[in-house]
Each structure stands twice: as C-alpha cells, then as structure tokens.
Structure 1
Amino acid sequence: MEATKKKIGRPTTSPKNTMIRVRMDDETIKKMDSCAKKLNTTRSEIIRNSIVEFYQKMNK
C-alpha cells in the first residue's frame, strides 16, 4: 500500500499561496518587529493586518 502524505501545519480556510518581497529601511523593520513582539505575532501577520486596516479606511 502506498502511504498518503500528510500536509504540514494547521488547516486553514484562507491558504497563503503567494509570497512577495518588499524593501524596507531599518527603522521600518524595527517598528514592525516591535509591533510583532508586543502583539506576540509574526511579521507576516502584522503586514496582513495593516493591509486590512488600510483597505477598510480607504473604503469608508
């Protein structure tokens, strides 16, 4: 019998399939890392949340 491969990580209803690269200055990185540490989250989550918040403000 052939073994089935298990996916790594938690199941999600919103898969993150696209990766982007951005250039940031050191000060922006420090601010982002400070936010991530205070909120106990990742850089990626800080960026995603910031985009959602910015989008909501634009569409008021």
Structure 2
Amino acid sequence: MSSKKMGRPLSDNPKSITIKIRIDQEVMSKLEASAEKLNTSRSHIVRQGIEKIYDDLQK
C-alpha cells in the first residue's frame, strides 16, 4: 500500500492567510458584479486589485 495521502495536490503557493475586511453594500455590489462578469471568485478580484495598486506604486 502506498504511503501517499489521497486528496487535492499541494499548491506551490498555498493561500493560508485569511483577512477580514468591512465594506459597505455599494462596494460589495461592485465586487460581486466584477466577479460574476469575469467568471472568477471575489478573492481573486481582491488579489488582482492589490497587485494592481502595488504595481502602480512601484512606477
């Protein structure tokens, strides 16, 4: 019998940190609409926004 575990493969970049934010209904609506239009998760939209701001600050 193999000693490997069953389940999802390990990620090269695990997302193990959780943050909690407070937003108003308008921002939440924009986040939901963006995620739906791009067919992705809300978390992915937030990560993209952080990357965009960071890249803009590096210029």
TM range (shorter): 0.7 to 0.9
Over the residues paired in the alignment, what is the CA RMSD in angstroms? 1.9
How far off its partner does 1:6 sit?
Answer: 2.4
Corresponding residue pairs, total: 59
Aligned to 2:41: 42
Alignment of 1:1-40 (within 5 A): 4-8=4-8, 11-40=10-39
Q: Which runs of 5+ in 1 are unaligned?
A: none
TM (norm. structure 1) is 0.83
Which runs of structure 1 show a deviation greater than 6 angstroms over 4 or more consecutive aligned residues?
none
How far off its partner does 1:14 sit?
Answer: 1.1
Q: Which runs of 5+ in 2 are unaligned?
A: none
Q: Percent identity?
A: 36
